[in-house]
């Protein structure tokens, strides 16, 4: 079997994200990963949270093979076969499909703004009662000075594609609110990233503590 694709950034941040997930998650549950990419995160999390069932997805057909290769390399039996899923599609999965966790890392800044709205709306449809959406990546914040690294990164993204760019957290909160989600926790992470935890407004009693 050929070696799967490798992302140095995913390798660097996988443990710090897992440390927060361990604080947030109960012993068992079901998780949907949006934009799984190389599959490094889902393989790492699944190997260390064995009582969770993981559903990786990606919008790029070629990514499904590398995700499957990552899972096979780790000999994981709690990861389902990866699915092709575009967050902009009107229907992700059958409406009755629900997850205790929806996880999305490093997508919002390298995709058009419409993907943020779509992520929030789709997550609101597929979160189980008490479930959480977790997003990870760089954010701008109106009340927090922007690091020089994030400022330069944002400029480089916009130079590559004017529809890309680091999103203002407050704008993401507004999109979430319109979909019926609210921000319930903010975790500062290494390399000027944030891990944000979102919940359905009508589900104040959560199995996943903020």
In the chain, the domains with their CATH numbers are 7-14+39-85 (no CATH), 97-210 (3.40.50.150)
Q: Which of 69-73, 135-139, 166-170 has the lowest mean pLDDT?
A: 69-73
pLDDT band at 6; cut points 50, 70, 90: confident
User: Are the C-beta atoms of residues 118 and 87 closer than 8 Å to each other?
Assistant: yes
Residue 187, classed as helix, strand or coil, is strand
Torsion of CA 197, 56, 20, 145, to 10 degrees: -60
Q: pLDDT digit string (tens) for 146-196?
A: 999 999 999 999 999 999 999 999 999 999 999 999 999 999 999 999 999
Q: Would you place residue 28 in the very low, low, confident or very high pLDDT band (cuts 50, 70, 90)?
A: very high
Cα–Cα distance for residue pair 11/8, rounded to 1 Å: 5
| Band (98; pLDDT cuts 50, 70, 90) | very high
pTM, 2 dp: 0.93
Report in angstroms the alpha-carbon separations of 28 from 53, 85, 104, 148.
8, 24, 19, 39
State both tokens at 151: 């400022």
Residue whose C-alpha is closest to residue 29's, from 94, 103, 83, 82: 103
pLDDT band at residue 3 using 50, 70 and 90 as cut-offs: low
Mean pLDDT over 58-78 rounds to 95
C-alpha Rg value of the chain to the nearest Å: 16
Q: How far apart are CA 207 and CA 210, in angstroms?
A: 9
């Amino acid at each position: 079997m050929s070696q799967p694709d490798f992302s140095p950034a995913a390798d660097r941040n996988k443990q710090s994200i897992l440390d927060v997930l361990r604080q947030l998650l109960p012993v068992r549950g079901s998780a949907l990963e949006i934009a799984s990419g190389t599959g490094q995160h889902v393989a790492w999390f699944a190997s260390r949270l064995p009582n969770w069932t993981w559903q990786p997805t990606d919008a790029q057909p070629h990514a499904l093979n590398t995700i499957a290769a990552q899972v096979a390399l780790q000999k994981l039996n709690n990861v389902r076969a990866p699915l092709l899923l575009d967050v902009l599609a009107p229907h992700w999965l059958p409406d009755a499909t629900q997850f205790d966790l929806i996880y999305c890392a490093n997508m919002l800044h390298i995709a058009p703004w419409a993907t943020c709205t779509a992520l929030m709306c789709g997550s609101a449809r597929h979160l189980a009662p008490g479930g959480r959406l977790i997003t990870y990546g760089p954010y701008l914040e109106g009340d927090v000075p922007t690091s020089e690294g994030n400022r330069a990164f944002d400029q480089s993204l916009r130079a590559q594609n004017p529809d890309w760019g680091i999103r203002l957290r407050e704008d993401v909160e507004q999109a979430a609110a319109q979909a019926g989600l609210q921000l319930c926790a903010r975790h500062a992470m290494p390399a000027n990233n944030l891990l944000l935890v979102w919940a359905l407004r009508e589900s104040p009693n959560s199995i996943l503590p903020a």
